[in-house]
Amino acid sequence: MVKILSKDFFNKPTITVAKKLLGKFLVRRYRGKRIVLMITEVEVYDGPQDKASHASRGKTARNEPMFGEAGRFYVYFTYGIHWLVNVVTGPKGYPAAILFRAGRTLEGKDIIGPARLTKYLKIDGKLTGKLAGRRTGLWFEDHGIKIRPSHIKRGPRVGVDYAGSWAKKPYNLKLL
């Protein structure tokens, strides 16, 4: 039985949510079509002290959704050409989010890279700050797939060398 994840699912510590999101599905309704992607890789950005996080320098117009309630999307534009999508986790006021880095289509094709993922799902900045749900047109589904901890590889995040010791934290999680 398919279950739609509620905002309560996301109102937990970020690393806990990240582990539970692997094997769940990100679903997009776009122009009458349903686009579905199983989540296979995520990255954690956890709190104002995380030097790799957009929130490390405080609240701005760009990162404001990270300070909002759990279950909302934080979508931002990078390198002047790519949209990237995150979901906010934890309590309101604590800036934490999970970046989606890769997924697998229902046909078994891997979509690797956060920019390719958003392009595949037709995601842009209009969704930033919106709560995950059918009304928004972007939501999460649990199809009952159980992921064992031994099937999750943890490693350093990608492309955040500027963050010093924070770059080495095992905040990248992917399915083996």
Query: Cα separation of 94 and 100, whole Å?
Result: 19
Question: pTM to 2 decimals?
Answer: 0.96
Strands 73-78 and 152-155: unpaired
pLDDT of 150? 96
Please report the pLDDT score of residue 171 as a whole number.
Answer: 98
pLDDT in tens, 80-91: 899 999 999 999
Number of structural domains (the chain) is: 1
Nearest to 173 by CA among 102, 115, 123, 120: 102
Q: What is the distance, to the nearest Å, from the Cα of residue 108 to the centroid of all Cα atoms in its chain?
A: 20
Q: Print the domain residue range for 102.
A: 3-175
For the chain, give the mean pLDDT: 96
Token pair recorded at residue 65? 């959704």
Residue 37, by phi and psi: left (phi above 0), alpha (psi -120 to 50) or beta? beta
pLDDT of res. 91: 96
CATH of the domain at 99: 3.10.300.10
Query: Phi and psi of 109, rounded to 5°?
Result: -85, 130
pLDDT at 80: 84
Tell me the per-residue pLDDT of 28-86, one tens digit each, with 9 for 90 and over: 999 999 999 999 999 999 999 999 999 999 999 999 999 999 999 999 999 889 999 99
> Would you call 129 helix, strand, or coil by DSSP?
coil
**Four-CA torsion 100, 106, 109, 114, nearest 10 degrees:** -10
The identity of residue 134, as a single letter, is: R
